[in-house]
Amino acid sequence: MLRQRVNVSRSVTESGGLVWSTPKTWERRSVPFPAALAPGLAALMVGKGREDTAFTDQRGAVLRNSNYRSRVFEPAVRAVQAAAAAQRAREVATAGEASTPEFPTITPHDLRHTAASLAVSAGANVKAVQRMLGHAKASMTLDVYADLFDEDLDAVAANLDAAIESAAARLRHAPVSQSIGALKPLVNVWS
């Protein structure tokens, strides 16, 4: 927990009964989590070993996806949708239009895409997102999430501008011997 990562080494699926196996890519993966989740995750692990299952049902047994979805996840989504609809109705009644967006129907897999989106927005590179999601190859991550990385092109252009301006400023005010060193960031940018 000190490194704020959950290590995924086994997966369980429902196929009649419970089937334990390695994750899809046959490799362990580390999934980072924000510090705000550390106390809750630490509480889940009290009395458990490092290799024990973190998320279990009330009896300590494997948390079945079908039960979790129907008993917890889907009712939570419906509650948020109802709250958003109520807020929209209040806004229409008072202002004539709603500014609160409708809350969409989502699945746990949609949250995986959200996590990838947030990681990319936080500056994670393709390899980091690949490892987080457990994709076998970075090309798969790019194929699935390329649209997220495209949004960063403006930031890339701004960073290139800043690197060029910084190097140019050092070149303008430095003796020739130092000017060669000032060119190094430009070489790194373009190589």
Report the C-alpha gap between 42 and 30 in whole angstroms: 16
Is residue 179 pLDDT above 60, yes or no? no
The answer to whether position 5 is within a domain reads yes
Report the C-alpha gap between 141 and 116 in whole angstroms: 9
Q: Tell me the per-residue pLDDT of 98-113, one tens digit each, with 9 for 90 and over.
A: 999 999 999 998 998 8
Report the C-alpha gap between 102 and 85 in whole angstroms: 7
Whole-number pLDDT of residue 102:
94
Whole-number pLDDT of residue 164:
78
Q: Is 161 exposed, middle or buried (0-12, 13-18, 19+ CB in 10 A)?
A: exposed
Is residue 3 pLDDT above 90, yes or no? no
Q: Is 62 exposed, middle or buried (0-12, 13-18, 19+ CB in 10 A)?
A: middle
User: Is residue 20 within 8 Å of 11, Cβ to Cβ?
Assistant: yes
Whole-number pLDDT of residue 120:
79
The tokens describing 163, both together, are 């690197």
Domain final residue pick, 17, 40, 62: 62
The answer to whether position 41 is within a domain reads yes
The answer to whether position 126 is within a domain reads no
The secondary structure of residue 102, as a DSSP letter, is P
The answer to whether position 177 is within a domain reads yes
Report the C-alpha gap between 72 and 181 in whole angstroms: 59
The tokens describing 181, both together, are 């060193």
Whole-number pLDDT of residue 87:
95
Report the C-alpha gap between 6 and 9 in whole angstroms: 10
Please give the helix or strand (H or E) that residue 7 lies within, else none: strand 5-8
For residue 176, give its domain range.
153-190
The answer to whether position 71 is within a domain reads no
Q: What end-to-end distance do the CA atoms of the chain give, in Å?
A: 38
The answer to whether position 125 is within a domain reads no
Q: Is 129 exposed, middle or buried (0-12, 13-18, 19+ CB in 10 A)?
A: buried
Percent of the chain topping pLDDT 70: 83
- Give 32's pLDDT tier (boundaries 50, 70, 90): confident
Whole-number pLDDT of residue 175:
59
Domain final residue pick, 22, 41, 62: 62
The answer to whether position 119 is within a domain reads no
Domain final residue pick, 62, 90, 105: 62
Whole-number pLDDT of residue 25:
64
Q: Tell me the per-residue pLDDT of 125-170, one tens digit each, with 9 for 90 and over.
A: 888 888 888 888 888 888 887 776 666 667 777 777 887 787 777 6
The answer to whether position 161 is within a domain reads yes
The whole-chain average pLDDT of the chain stands at 81
Number of domains within the chain: 2
Whole-number pLDDT of residue 185:
54
Is residue 46 pLDDT above 80, yes or no? yes
Is residue 62 pLDDT above 60, yes or no? yes
